[in-house]
Amino acid sequence: MKQPWSDLAWVFELKHDGFRGLLYIRDGAMAIAEFVSRNGNVMRRFSDLAGAIARGMPEGGAVIDGEICHLNEHGEPQFYDLMRRGATHFCAFDLLWVDGEDLRRQQLVERKRRLRELVKKDDASPIRYVDHIEADGVPFYRLVCERDMEGIVAKRADGLYTPEETTWVKVKNPRYSQNDGRRELFERRSRF
């Protein structure tokens, strides 16, 4: 198991428990949008959420990386509610492309700055900006574990979004209660 660390070259985010997806938005005013999985599959189950987010985005479009989640009233991800009731939010943590501009070769902190400008703070919105903690991963990880969250993701502040190198590391909470029974759940679903 990976252990947390503190380092000025890294930023640390809450690991949201849900389904990872890239949100592709074309013609924001026309609300043409879809989530695509890491395997390149269109995630049609979440098309209503994608459309709702797209209506508030720029007309030139965007590609946003994040986690599709079901958040409770405290803003905490609830995996089993996601499976039973569906998604309520998209927790956005990276911006790859916006208004025709490819951002993948820019540093993470710059991409996150641009994402924060794009995702307005609005409690009624289905998209949430995933903020980060700079340098202090150890105390942040302790807090996340105390609150029974899945873990944190450490990311190089200067990291580029490229397939050639990994610039992030998951540090999971070994006592996370929502992991209980998950393997059996997916095994049952794959048999049908």
Give the model confidence (pLDDT) of 149-186 as tens digits. Answer: 999 999 999 999 987 777 999 999 999 999 876 666 55
The pLDDT score that the predictor gives to residue 183 is 64
Q: How many CA atoms lie within 13 A of 40 on its CB side?
A: 0
Integer Cα distance of 161 and 106 in angstroms? 8
Give the model confidence (pLDDT) of 56-83 as tens digits. Answer: 787 788 999 999 999 999 889 999 999 9
Domains and CATH numbers, the chain: 10-180 (3.30.470.30)
pTM of this prediction? 0.91
DSSP calls for 73-121: TTS-B-HHHHHHH---EEEEEEEEEETTEE-TTS-HHHHHHHHHHHS--
In which band, very low, low, confident or very high, does the pLDDT at 28 lie, cut at 50, 70 and 90?
low
Mean pLDDT of 10-39: 89
Q: Name the residue among 135, 148, 10 with its Cα closest to residue 76.
A: 148
CA distances from 70 to 17, 67, 90, 133 (A): 9, 10, 9, 23
